[in-house]
Amino acid sequence: MYESHADLGGKGNHGPVIPESEGELFHAEWERMALAITLAMGATGTWNIDESRSVRETQSNYDSLTYYQLWIQGLVALLKKHGLVEDDEVAAGKMLHPAKSLKRVLRAVDVPAVLAKGAPTLRSANSAALFAVGDQVTTRSNAVDHHTRLPAYARGKKGLIAAVYGPHVFADTHAQGLGEQPQWLYNVVFTARELWGEDADATSTVSIDAWESYLEPHS
């Protein structure tokens, strides 16, 4: 059974959220290197962003890792999964076997252009959108045994369509290597009380982005 250790919304006993100074991106030089090597390997096309998110979220010691420790541990897991490193190389901290070939290589001179381009997920529509702004919907109530972008706290909840973004790469199938399978993506607004109960602030709302298969009409 897939278990996302990153699905923490609405759960207690995780300690307070401690704000950091605006613009404080790194706490140590190795974190810059962790970001660089993770982006460089992602640019090879060996895996996609949703697969990398899925791998990070399923690290059993998720709670004990800092942000970039999680990135590195997830990267090692992906490298091993795709046969790019062996256990003895991880233990030794250096290459011990001939390097495997890659689809692409991100060279330093190309980094600014590649980062500026990004990786847009908007795709062409193959069908009309099922929902429109102002429609009332209910989110899927069941858990799934794979990566999903529908947080547990928003399952089975009633909300309102606030925006229609168009068809986007569906993260759930993309993470599993089942292809992009684009779906219409919506912004859905919930009252805080719908999500957290009657003790929540009556004036607060929470918005999430949700693919069409996460939603059903609310009657």
Chunked in runs of 10, what are the mean pLDDT values of the chain (219 residues)? Answer: 86 85 92 96 96 95 94 97 96 95 94 92 95 98 94 96 98 97 98 96 97 93
CATH number of the domain enclosing 37: 1.10.472.20
pLDDT at 14: 84
**Pairwise CA distance, residues 182 & 171, whole Å:** 9
Report yes or no on 16 lying in a domain: no
Q: 184-200: b or e for each residue (b if 16 or more CB lie within 10 Å)?
A: bbbbbebbeeebbeeee
Beta bridge partners of 189: 160, 207
The reported pTM is 0.91
pLDDT for 34-44, tens place per residue?
A: 999 999 999 99
| Predicted local distance difference test score (pLDDT) of residue 18 | 85
Q: Are strands 205-211 and 183-191 parallel, antiparallel or unpaired?
A: antiparallel
Helices (H), 82-191: 87-92, 111-117, 171-175
Residue pLDDT, tens place only, 92-143: 999 999 999 999 999 999 999 999 999 999 999 999 999 999 999 999 999 9
How many domains does the chain divide into? Answer: 2
- Same domain as 204, residue 177: yes
* 9 found inside a domain: no
Which CATH number does the domain housing residue 202 bear?
2.30.30.50
CA distance 43 to 32: 17
